[in-house]
Amino acid sequence: MRGTARTVDTPPVHSLEVRLPDDVPFAIGSFDEIGPYSRAAFPHRHTFYEIVHVTRGSGTHVVDLARWELRPPHLGVIVPGQVHHWEDTRGLDGHVVLFTPDFLVGQSGDRDLLRRVGARPWHRLDPAAHARTGRLLAELSEEYRHGDPGFATVLRSLLHVLLVRMVRLGDRPPQPPGGVYGVGAVDGGGTGGAGGGEVGAGRHAVAEEFARLLAGTGPDVLGSVRECADRLGVTPGYLTEALRAAVGRTPGSLLREARTREAQRLLARTDLSVRQIAARTGFDDPAYFCRFFRRETGMSPGGFRKHHDRRAPSIEAGPDPA
């Protein structure tokens, strides 16, 4: 059976198993050391971040609706909530880094750093970048294995360096087929973002919490604007003001985008009926869901599913894509 086959139900969600005595939500190892899920051929998603440094192998890495042809060395990231799998891989080797958002986040800029990393999910490394990445991951691996006093702080620091270097690899991602990236799209596309001095700390915190809410995988996070505001402990008006100030968008537009993205994932990666997908993305009326989906994507749900039954063209990431 091919790795692109849709699953009968929604893609399974994997959580990070913590095995160290002090419960550090972090792990690093080779694909073999992390285990079979690190190269799973079936669509699935995580509640944690995964960074892969692919040093050898062939095949394709599929993330949501984007397909990345393996031409090692590569450096890639899968963010919480994205659906991904490995297809027709042979000889896959390299390092895998797993961590929860809360493990890294300690300063106001850390969430923005994670967002920027997620906006550019796949890099083909030149020899110098490949060597630097390998040395840094070797340090991370050694610190993780030894577990000396203060190792969690060192892990966070080295991980922060890795993420900063990933951002430096380029700020303009190549557009994948279908134009769909994972969650984390509540970004600085508008004005008055973090560091601009125009967004109060309270409003910016609300915008960040809303972004985290959209990064969830349960259908309950795709409720109405009022339901989201209630979960955040603010009024709908305050939530709207916070998001307009932080990212230049309304919560309603971001919720529509999240519903559309989740519906696309389920249509492409599962055999759920349109009625079931409508219910899982917050629509009581399947007919209304179909109208909504066509308005947002220009295609009917059935047409979208039929189109994505065919193999989409793979993306070969160059060392410095425009």
Tell me the CB-side half-sphere exposure of residue 15, using CA atoms within 13 A: 5
CA-to-CA distance for 129 and 100, rounded, in angstroms? 25
CB neighbours (10 Å) of residue 121? 25
The pLDDT assigned to 22 comes to 60
Contact 54, 74 (CB under 8 A): yes
Contact 250, 244 (CB under 8 A): yes
* Whether the predicted model's global pTM rises above the 0.75 cut: no
Contact 125, 67 (CB under 8 A): no
- Torsions phi, psi of 106, nearest 5? -145, -20
Angle at 215 between CA 209 and CA 216, to 5 degrees: 100
Tens of pLDDT, residues 234-283 = 889 989 998 888 778 899 998 888 889 888 888 887 888 999 999 888 88
CA-to-CA distance for 149 and 75, rounded, in angstroms? 30
CA-to-CA distance for 119 and 154, rounded, in angstroms? 26
CA-to-CA distance for 213 and 191, rounded, in angstroms? 21
* Token representation of residue 173: 């991602």
Please, is 106 exposed, middle or buried when counting C-beta atoms within 10 Å of its C-beta (0-12, 13-18, 19+)? exposed
Strands 49-63 and 66-69: antiparallel
Helix (H, G, I), strand (E, B) or coil at 107: coil
Contact 233, 226 (CB under 8 A): no
Predicted confidence pLDDT, tens digits, the chain (322 residues):
233 344 446 677 777 766 554 678 999 999 999 998 899 998 888 889 999 999 999 999 988 878 889 999 999 999 888 888 999 999 999 999 999 988 887 766 788 888 888 888 899 999 999 999 999 999 999 999 998 999 999 999 999 999 999 999 965 444 443 333 333 433 333 333 334 443 455 677 788 778 767 766 454 456 788 888 888 888 899 899 988 887 788 999 988 888 898 888 888 878 889 999 998 888 889 999 999 999 999 999 999 998 886 444 444 455 543 2
Please, is 168 exposed, middle or buried when counting C-beta atoms within 10 Å of its C-beta (0-12, 13-18, 19+)? exposed
Using alpha carbons, list the distances in angstroms from residue 113 to 59, 222, 230. 29, 25, 27
How far is Cα of residue 238 from the mean position of the Cα atoms in its chain? 27
The pLDDT assigned to 222 comes to 61
CA-to-CA distance for 120 and 129, rounded, in angstroms? 16
Contact 25, 102 (CB under 8 A): yes
CA-to-CA distance for 295 and 172, rounded, in angstroms? 27
CA-to-CA distance for 224 and 245, rounded, in angstroms? 20
